[in-house]
Chain A
Amino acid sequence: MPETLSSTSVGLVTPQVARFDTPLALACGRELPAFELVYETYGTLNETASNAVLICHALSGHHHAAGYHHVDDRKPGWWDAHIGPGKSIDTRRFFVIAVNNLGGCHGSTGPASENPATGRIWGPDFPLMTVTDWVNSQAMLADRLGIQRFAAVVGGSLGGMQVLQWAMSLPERVANATVVAATPRLSAQNIAFNEVARQAIRSDPEFFDGWYTEHQTLPRQGLRLARMVGHITYLSEHSMGARFGRDLRTDSLNYGYDVEFEVESYLRYQGDTFSTRFDANTYLLMTKALDYFDPAGEHEDDLPRALSTATCRFLVVSFTTDWRFAPARSRELVDALLRAGKHVSYANIDSPHGHDAFLLPNERYEAVLGGFMTRVANDVERTTEGNL
């Protein structure tokens, strides 16, 4: 945390925990008898509870979206570029909620939690989660916080899929939906990359079919490889080239297999840090949730029909160099929304940063997201004044 805090930071934040003792029925047919969700909030809920914004996180995200936990934190939350006083998602006007999804490894009930039926940790027995399951659990948290209807549900990548699911399955609870760098379904290539990542983890001898904790070890090597291959898909060819080119770590070629190129060193570093802070079973589960998401598939491949229940206003955003969830995937979604006669706006933001662009500051991105959210806040405040 910087010594003098910027006026656009939410500052120090403390995560909270909500415990639920009502069972949650899951898409896989099983149920979670009880669970906990860890979440953070920024800003103040207004009297009519009409200014709440839900932030949905991506594959390796969590509830810490903005601000700092400790004064000595080096980095703020993962979406600090866009959440704060005066930022695109303005915490002076909105009450923002960011929650760690079920199956996660940052405090919400997941594979590393204790299974009440056995007294052991869940490990690989933790049920596979779907985007719909997450939305249902997030809705229970909204009930707990007294929020009947969100002014907006916002998310990027896998988070964007949750936003879509909210709009489709709980339309009366969403006024606006912002879907960033997402896709209505994964392509074969997307699933293929996920499968490489899963195989990297599952073939690590330290994985022990997911029972690594009981063997007092971690499948570090597998998780490291999974992150390395994943990370390649988050960057663009251009951004990798601009950052590393063919630069060498050493003075000359070594004719060996140690790190020689800068890009190798970078990927290894990314893999190493990730493998110590992320849970392998959670990673597996998150990639499966991505693969399974396919609302059109549940409606004979008719995406407009799948979206027909939605009543909110949509903002869809993509980034020009994103090849993981390319602009064409966002266009599919926009065209389907248009065919379904829904309120939709779309912007394709020029950025060299590939899929990662959705996390980064970008002037035009902020103008688009900020413009849309300003209108949402104006609508909220106009309605609130009308009620007083």
Chain B
Amino acid sequence: MRADLALIYDWVPHGARVLDLGCGDGTLLAALSAQKQVTGYGLEIDSDGISRCLEKGVDVIEQDLDQGLTNIPDDTFDLVIMTQALQVLRRPDLMLDEMLRVANECIIAFPNFAWWRHRLSLGIKGRMPVSRSLPHAWYDTPNIHLSTFRDFSDLCRQQGHTITDRAVGNGSTEGQWRHRRWPNLFGQDAIFRVKR
């Protein structure tokens, strides 16, 4: 499992009802269901991802996250997870509220635009950063709302939500996830745990 998913896996309580937004091929939900008796659904729009979920026995619903979660009643879940999807949404702020409407807690992972290499690329080279966490060129990127570790902290506070935990790291490398000093500078990816 990807290191960022492994960290999220550790954060999910046993037996929780989970909604995974942009669940991909269902790796995380499959592991949570098999080893932590977690129940719940993944929402996904990628057709290959949906087929992989079905083969794994992960309950997956084809749904465009930009349409919101209006079909899901308040407090249906204990926890909502969203990895690497926040930055592609039309309104990440509204989604954050939606996530904390259908559950009391959410875990959100996204690329930190203020990572020092990203800053180097833009500040010194004068070019939009391209990295492992931001692999696209500026003209074909699906990432329309990039933010920083600090920006997201501010958004949570402005919307009256409580950050209960956060970590940064290099998502591709095992064991690199930690509560670093200078997270906004040294974290390539960020994971936040937020409550109402």
Q: A338-B41, A338-B72 are in contact. Are A345 and B59 (CB under 8 A)?
A: yes
Q: A335-B71, A339-B73 are in contact. Are A371 and B51 (CB under 8 A)?
A: yes
B80 to chain A, nearest CB (A): 14
User: Are A334's CB and B61's CB within 8 A?
Assistant: yes
User: Are A348's CB and B62's CB within 8 A?
Assistant: yes
Chain A residues with CB under 8 A of B55: 371, 374-375
Chain A residues with CB under 8 A of B61: 334, 338, 344-346
Chain B residues with CB under 8 A of A371: 51-52, 54-55
Give chain A interface residues in 369-386, CB to chain B under 8 Å: 371-372, 374-375, 379
CB closest residue in chain B, given A376: B57
CB closest residue in chain A, given B57: A375
Please tell me if B56 contacts chain A, counting CB pairs below 8 Å: yes
- Count CB-based A-B contacts (< 8 Å): 52
How long is the Cα–Cα vector from A313 to B51 in the complex, in angstroms?
Answer: 16
User: Are A315's CB and B54's CB within 8 A?
Assistant: yes
Chain A residues with CB under 8 A of B59: 313, 343-345
Please tell me if B191 contacts chain A, counting CB pairs below 8 Å: no
Number of interface residues of B (CB under 8 A): 21
Which residue from A335, A368, A379 sits with its C-beta under 8 Å from B54?
Answer: A368
Q: In the complex, which range does the number of interface residues on chain A fall in?
A: 20 to 34
Which residue from B48, B56, B63, B76 sits with its C-beta under 8 Å from A375?
Answer: B56
User: Are B62's CB and A346's CB within 8 A?
Assistant: yes
Give chain A interface residues in 339-379, CB to chain B under 8 Å: 339, 343-348, 364, 367-368, 371-372, 374-375, 379
CB closest residue in chain B, given A363: B47
B61 to chain A, nearest CB (A): 5
Give chain B interface residues in 36-59, CB to chain A under 8 Å: 41, 47-48, 50-59
Please tell me if B60 contacts chain A, counting CB pairs below 8 Å: yes
Chain A residues with CB under 8 A of B41: 338, 344
User: Are A368's CB and B51's CB within 8 A?
Assistant: yes
User: Are B50's CB and A347's CB within 8 A?
Assistant: yes
Give chain B interface residues in 149-188, CB to chain A under 8 Å: none
Q: Mark A11-35, 1 if CB is under 8 A from B, else 0.
A: 0000000000000000000000000
Please tell me if A92 contacts chain B, counting CB pairs below 8 Å: no
Please tell me if A305 contacts chain B, counting CB pairs below 8 Å: no
Chain A residues with CB under 8 A of B73: 339
CB closest residue in chain A, given B53: A345
Chain A residues with CB under 8 A of B71: 331, 335, 338
Chain A residues with CB under 8 A of B52: 371
A104 to chain B, nearest CB (A): 32
How long is the Cα–Cα vector from A346 to B54 in the complex, in angstroms?
Answer: 10
Give chain A interface residues in 60-86, CB to chain B under 8 Å: none
B71 to chain A, nearest CB (A): 5
User: Are B54's CB and A372's CB within 8 A?
Assistant: yes
A370 to chain B, nearest CB (A): 8
How long is the Cα–Cα vector from A346 to B41 in the complex, in angstroms?
Answer: 11
CB closest residue in chain A, given B64: A348
CB closest residue in chain A, given B71: A335
Chain B residues with CB under 8 A of A334: 61
How long is the Cα–Cα vector from A350 to B47 in the complex, in angstroms?
Answer: 10
Chain B residues with CB under 8 A of A379: 57
User: Are A364's CB and B47's CB within 8 A?
Assistant: yes
The listed residue with most A CB atoms (<10 A of its CB), out of B54, B59, B63, is B54
CB closest residue in chain B, given A364: B47
Chain A residues with CB under 8 A of B53: 345
How long is the Cα–Cα vector from A346 to B61 in the complex, in angstroms?
Answer: 5
Give chain A interface residues in 271-307, CB to chain B under 8 Å: none
A90 to chain B, nearest CB (A): 13
B58 to chain A, nearest CB (A): 8
Chain B residues with CB under 8 A of A348: 62
21 pairs, A vs B, C-beta closer than 8 Å: A338-B71, A338-B72, A344-B61, A345-B50, A345-B59, A345-B60, A345-B61, A346-B60, A346-B61, A346-B62, A346-B63, A347-B62, A348-B62, A364-B47, A367-B51, A368-B50, A368-B51, A371-B52, A371-B54, A372-B54, A374-B55
5 A-B pairs with least C-beta separation: A371-B54, A367-B51, A371-B51, A335-B71, A371-B55
Please give the residue numbers on chain A whose beta carbons come within 8 Å of chain B beta carbons, in ascending order. Answer: 313, 315, 331, 334-335, 338-339, 343-348, 364, 367-368, 371-372, 374-375, 379
Please give the residue numbers on chain B whose beta carbons come within 8 Å of chain A beta carbons, in ascending order. Answer: 41, 47-48, 50-63, 71-73, 76
New A-B contacts (9) at CB < 8 Å, excluding given A313-B57, A374-B55:
A315-B54, A331-B71, A338-B61, A338-B76, A345-B59, A346-B62, A371-B52, A375-B56, A379-B57
